[in-house]
Amino acid sequence: MIKVAGYGRMSTDKQQMSPKVQTQKIENWFDQQKSTGRWGDSPKFIGMFIDEAVSSRVDMLKRPFGQHVLTVLDRGDMVVVASLSRAFRSVNDTWNTMKVLDEAGISIAFLDSPMDTSTPVGKLMLTMVAGFAEFERDLISSRTKETAAVKRKMGEPIGPAPIGWQNSRDSRGTYLRPDKSARIVAEAAKFLFVKGLSRQEVFYQMRTAMRKRRIEPKSPQWYVSAAAAACMDFPKLSITFISSVLGFSIDRMSFITSGDHSKAKKYLRDWMKQEGFSDA
């Protein structure tokens, strides 16, 4: 008796590739194959194994249910995936997974790319399709980074607002506007760090002050990041991005308490001006 297992991965597009959609596609496919007598007598669908909240960058067989599938299937059994993108994210992942499945005698089917992986031609087609899919993702990623770079230079929002700023939207479109309350908190945290207080001491003092004003307290590390942003005069850039430009991390107390930050600020301003930032 052949056993068939469905494998899936949580999609960010919940309407197109939600766990429910993936399950329905695979169950319908199994019922259809069963009705044609493809596997002879009594094939068994043993259920869906869906990895949720797992990064797509993790190889299939390193995901919790990706590993588990191998433990519930035997030689001659099959794993079915609704879409190639739910299983593999790179050519290397495809090759490595196929090698393991081949050694275990388990075949794999993709409902959006009908291929017989038990044949050399099918394996070649799978590798080619995975290669084109990886190439397309790389192009999309490149375009996304280019778009983000342009928006960053124009001072437009890119994801969460940098510390000291708020994302805003009106008839003019989306833009960043100063967050006065966050800047006051950041300057206060900076003052306490320079005064010699530890991260936990600053956290406790700021938490008490913010609760009195009915402001949601932040984490201890947030106060360090906020103080670092204050040291740099709140540029429209994330702390991580600023650190990458400067070549060292500013998200630490040693930078905040170093005294003079004029050199770092000048370097950042000169770099932004050279790169064509509108706010340089």
Residue whose entry in the numeric block shows the structure tokens 């991260």: 199
- Where a domain ends, among 140, 172, 199? 140
What is the predicted pLDDT for the residue at 239?
Answer: 92
Residues 8 and 124 in one domain: yes
Cβ atoms within 10 Å, residue 148 = 13
Rounded CA-CA distance 263/183 in Å is: 21
Residues 58 and 172 in one domain: no
Residues 162 and 136 in one domain: no
Q: Where are the beta strands (DSSP E) in the chain?
A: 3-9, 44-51, 78-81, 107-110, 165-170, 173-178
Q: Are 42 and 3 in contact (CB under 8 A)?
A: no
The three-class DSSP label of residue 179 is coil
150 is a domain residue: no
188 is a domain residue: yes
117 is a domain residue: yes
26 is a domain residue: yes
Residues 136 and 225 in one domain: no
- If 0-12 CB within 10 Å is exposed, 13-18 middle and 19+ buried, where does residue 68 land? middle
What is the predicted pLDDT for the residue at 262?
Answer: 92
Can you give the pLDDT of all 280 residues of the chain as single tens digits?
899 999 988 855 444 568 888 899 999 999 988 888 888 778 899 999 998 877 767 888 888 898 898 899 999 999 998 887 788 767 777 778 888 888 898 988 888 876 666 667 677 666 666 665 666 656 656 666 666 666 666 666 667 889 999 988 877 778 888 999 889 999 999 999 999 999 999 999 888 888 877 777 788 899 999 999 999 999 988 899 899 989 999 999 999 998 889 999 999 999 988 888 877 6
Specify the pTM: 0.49
Q: How many domains does the chain have?
A: 2
Residues 223 and 186 in one domain: yes
Q: Are 140 and 111 in contact (CB under 8 A)?
A: no
Conformation bin of residue 225: beta by default, left when phi > 0, alpha when psi is -120 to 50: alpha
Please spell the DSSP secondary structure of 107-128, one letter per residue: EEEETTS---TTSHHHHHHHHH
Residues 25 and 125 in one domain: yes
What is the predicted pLDDT for the residue at 9?
Answer: 86
- Where a domain ends, among 107, 140, 173? 140
146 is a domain residue: no
23 is a domain residue: yes
183 is a domain residue: yes
Residues 108 and 165 in one domain: no
Residues 197 and 268 in one domain: yes
Residues 177 and 203 in one domain: yes
Rounded CA-CA distance 193/227 in Å is: 8
- Where a domain ends, among 95, 116, 140? 140
Domain housing 52:
3-140
Residues 7 and 136 in one domain: yes
Rounded CA-CA distance 269/107 in Å is: 57
The domain that holds 30 is classified in CATH as 3.40.50.1390
Residues 254 and 161 in one domain: yes
Long-range CB contacts (< 8 A, 24+ apart) of 147-155? 152/236, 152/237, 152/241, 152/277, 153/275, 153/276, 153/277, 153/278, 154/278, 155/236, 155/277, 155/278, 155/279
147 is a domain residue: no
Residues 92 and 164 in one domain: no
What is the predicted pLDDT for the residue at 93?
Answer: 78
What is the predicted pLDDT for the residue at 198?
Answer: 92
